Amino acid sequence: MTTPTFSTTQSISELRDQQSIYLKALQILIQDGSSMEKAQKTVCWNRLSRLHEAMPNQYLNPEHLFLQMLADTAAINPSKRKSR
């Protein structure tokens, strides 16, 4: 198996295997206060989108994930919530 890079197109199987990495990256973006517009330009967003497009019943839309994670972060750390 080749090592994935940002420029290689990954198979759906590879995307599935690395989904947890993309979710963690999205969580870090949210914790850093990134807007959805900024997050949409990232590799993790692109890869999560591909998973959702390929298997929408199994993988959530990254927009939904972003909003859900944002709400969870705000509920856990209300004092760290950044104004948007």
Convert the pLDDT of each residue in 25-59 to its tens digit: 999 999 999 999 999 999 999 999 999 999 999 99
Gap between the Cα atoms of 72 and 67, Å rounded? 9
CA dist 35 to 5, 25, 52, 84, Å?
Answer: 25, 14, 20, 7
The pLDDT confidence band at residue 84, using thresholds 50, 70 and 90, is very low
Contact 52, 15 (CB under 8 A): no
